Each structure stands twice: as C-alpha cells, then as structure tokens.
Structure 1
Amino acid sequence: MEPSDGTVGTAAGRRPTIMMIEDDQDLVAMCAAYLARTGFEFTHAGDSRSALRCLGEQHFELVVLDLGLPDGDGLDLLRTLRQRDMLPVIVVTGRGEETDRVVGLELGADDYLVKPFSLRELVARIRAVLRRSGADAASPPVIHLGGLVIDTGAHVIRAAGEQIELTPREYSLLEFLATTPGRVYSREQLLADVWESSVEWQAPATVDEHVYRIRRKLAGADVQAPRITTVRGFGYRLDT
C-alpha cells in the first residue's frame, strides 16, 4: 500500500543518512524537515565534540559541515575527518570566507555551499556528491498529500490518476511547499528558494500570480486537499 499521510516513498530500500554539523538551530530545523521530505535520514550535531562522538557510533553517507563552530575551527574538524576516512563532506561557509572555501577544498571537501543557501540547492548538492562518490543515493521520492501524488523524479503531479499540467515554475513552487506542509513561507522566502532570486530582482507579486494559477488548476482537477492557504501578513502555506 502506498503512503497517504504526507510521507515519502522511495524506490531504494534504505534512505541515505546525512549528518549536519551546525549550531544554528533554526537552520537545522528547516534542513531536517526538508531532507526528510526529500528522501533522507537526518542527524544533527551542534559542535565538533558531539559530531565526532556521533560519527564514531553511526554510519553516514555524507556530512554537511559548517566551518563556523562554537568549539573550534571547522577546518580542523575537516582535517580530522579526512584522517579517519573518505566520507563525503560538503562544507558551509559565510559569504565572505573565500579563503576558507579554498582551504576546505584543498583539505578534501567534496563541495561547498555559501550562506545563505536555498534548501533546494542543498539537496541538489547532496545528490550530486552522492552520485560522484558512488554512495547509495535515494531515488527521487514520490510525495502523497491528500488528493495529490507528486513524482519528484519525473516532475509530474497527478490527481485521481490524471496528470495536472503545470508550468515548470508552478511545479517547483508546489513541490517546495509540499515538502514542508503546514509551514508558512513569506513571498521573499519563496522568491529565494523557488526562484533563487530576491525582491531586488523580482516583484513579490510574481509569487501571488503563480499561487493563483496553481489554485485554479487544482480546483479544475477537483482537488480539495491539499490547498495553498494565504496567511495574511505573512505569506503562504500548504494545508493538508
């Protein structure tokens, strides 16, 4: 039986486990929810000491390592990891830390991300590194929410077995909201994560127009749930 409660079904038997070493609790919470929805297990450590303890006790497919840790230099932790094994590592740096990015790659990091980054970019980088490393990456998941089936591999959305025709941007917006149902996103956040843009380059009304079009198409397919709800003064969320 296929899941119908908003969980992700994958073709692979075991979901790859990602360790995130990061002390920003808000960022960790967002990444945990998004990675779970996109086919990964997730574990978090807030500092070097707890990360090393956890890495010694559990198997991981990949580490996302913030170089700015509260109990030491993330580059030192990266050196330690490279002395132990060749576990894939994506380093995370601040926007102005070009030297750290270069040193991180020289020490053997597989890729790097610059803060602030979008959740979609994080998952794309993780999948790319896992493919290159030959690790057992999860197949793109199928998300079941109410009357919708979202095939993230084929970029197809169906209701009652029939495909709903969405533009690529409409699909990306609906898929993004579907990965964290119930969470409110501002127009600015959606521009950053879905459009990879900002209010400096694109009007927030762009989001409103795409939401309107998605609602109209879902209504045309007689989809009662999930639905995109306007949270006045804040933005949008997907309700199931």
Structure 2
Amino acid sequence: MRPHLALIEDEPDFALMCRSYLEHEGFTVTWAMDARAGKSVLHESSVDLAVLDLGLPDGSGLELLRALRSTSRLPVIVVTGRGAEADRVAGLEIGADDYLVKPFSQRELVARIRAVLRRSQPPEVSAVIQVGSLRIDTAARQASAEGVSLTLRPKEYALLEMLGEAPGRVFSTEQVLERIWGAAWQQPATVIEHVYRLRGKLAALPVPAPRITTVRGYGYRLDP
C-alpha cells in the first residue's frame, strides 16, 4: 500500500512541488496549509508520517507537534529555516523523528521519509506460530497439525491465531469480539459458537493437538 503522508506547509509553490515529487515516488499526500488544517488531517485521516513546517501562519508548528505527541507516536519530520537552530533542537526535544533545513532536495526528503518509516515499523514477528503439534502459518492463513490441515472459516482461523499467539493466556469474550469482529457489542453467543466449532475441529484431528479451555467467568485459552 502507498504510505499516506501529511504535508503541513504554508508555501504553496514549495508544497505543490513536494507533493508532486512524493506522489511520483509512490506516496499518497494530503496537504494542509496551516496548523488548524494540519491538526484536522492528523486526527481525522489515517496518516503514516507527517512532514511539518514549524513556521505556520496561524501558530507554531512546535505547538502542533507538542499537542500531537501528547496522544500519538506518529512519525514526524520537521522542516525549518536555515538559521532556526533553536527550533530544530526544540522540535527534536518535543519528539520529532528527524528534521530538514530549507532549502533541501526532494531526493533527500524522500530518503529521510523512507528511513523514518523503516525505523517506526514494529519488529517483524515470525510468520509461523507453533503450539505443540499445531502449526499456524499467519502469512498463508492456514493451520495444520503434523501435516494434517485444518479446514477453517475466516473467523475460526482468526480465533485460532489469536489464541495461538499467547498459549495459556486467557482472552475474555469482549477481547475476542473486539479483535475479530471489531465490535465488543456483538452477542457473546457469537464467540461461544465459534469456539464450539473450532474446538470440534481440533478434537477431530487424527493426531494429538492443543485444546481450547473455557475458564469459567473469564474467557478462553489455548492449552498445548
């Protein structure tokens, strides 16, 4: 997917040049001309990184960065004028991930953005979860036990993967609904039905396999 950038910059010619180059390099760019519009973009859009000019017409970019850092770890690259060393230092102290001094080349901007995005990615986890004889391939979204495949519906697989990520940990019905259905207001019977079907498929395997245990009053766990 194309990374989504917020470009918060008040110089139209410079902003349009940046946006055109960044889009050509494979990014989606939303441009905001001032702090108010920038705040709206940062809070209402799914943004992967912000390029923030500290000199905005309706307020300090530093204040916008400080407000953002109170609620978010969104990667931010601050942009300053050549002589604004104090602003650069303040931006880094508040929590900017990098900075650029105008004028700068578009190639350098792209390189800085890609470097910050790489650093901000969570560490890679194994694509395979192994719980006893059970092997869950999260990339292929398939599960098997000693070579015997399980035929699972999408929600059954998601439930098995969730439990398999932390064997022995008890997950509540509300946690399962929020993670798999995206809404804790769904009926608990939905989880009970899927646990029942998944438990039956694990039990039907011709080899020993982990089992789903009901912890009365708490939820469910996967036992090797």
Mapped partners of 1:54, 1:73: distance in 2: 16
* Alignment counterpart, residue 86 of structure 2, candidates 78, 92, 99: 99
Report matched runs for 1:1-240 at 5 Å. Answer: 14-134=1-121
Classify the secondary structure of the residue corresponding to 1:64.
strand
Deviations 1:75-118 (A, max 9, x none): 11110110120000000000000011011000010000000010
Quote how far apart the aligned CAs of 1:45 are. 0.4
Mapped partners of 2:44, 2:64: distance in 1: 17
Classify the secondary structure of the residue corresponding to 1:130.
helix
Quote how far apart the aligned CAs of 1:51 are. 1.1
Q: Across the two proteins, how many residue pairs are aligned to each other?
A: 122
Quote how far apart the aligned CAs of 1:56 are. 1.9
Mapped partners of 1:125, 1:93: distance in 2: 15
Classify the secondary structure of the residue corresponding to 1:80.
helix
Mapped partners of 2:59, 2:43: distance in 1: 19
Mapped partners of 1:54, 1:122: distance in 2: 20
Classify the secondary structure of the residue corresponding to 1:87.
coil
Identity of counterpart residues, as a percentage? 63
For structure 1, list consecutive stretches of 5 or more residues without a partner in the other structure: 1-13, 136-240
Instruction: Report the AA paired with residue 48 of structure 1.
Output: A
Instruction: Report the AA paired with residue 38 of structure 2.
Output: A
Mapped partners of 2:75, 2:116: distance in 1: 7
Mapped partners of 1:102, 1:36: distance in 2: 29
Deviations 1:105-143 (A, max 9, x none): 0001000000001000000000000000017xxxxxxxx
Mapped partners of 1:112, 1:28: distance in 2: 16
Q: Which runs of 4+ in 1 moved over 2 A?
A: none
Mapped partners of 1:55, 1:75: distance in 2: 15
Quote how far apart the aligned CAs of 1:61 are. 0.5
Classify the secondary structure of the residue corresponding to 2:70.
helix
Instruction: Report the AA paired with residue 84 of structure 2.
Output: E
Mapped partners of 1:107, 1:53: distance in 2: 20
Deviations 1:32-66 (A, max 9, x none): 11111111000010111111112221110000000
Who wins on radius of gyration, i.e. which is larger? 2
For structure 2, list consecutive stretches of 5 or more residues without a partner in the other structure: 123-224
Instruction: Report the AA paired with residue 24 of structure 2.
Output: R
Mapped partners of 1:67, 1:55: distance in 2: 15
Classify the secondary structure of the residue corresponding to 1:43.
strand
1:207 aligned partner? none
Instruction: Report the AA paired with residue 122 of structure 1.
Output: L
Instruction: Report the AA paired with residue 41 of structure 1.
Output: T
Mapped partners of 1:64, 1:55: distance in 2: 11
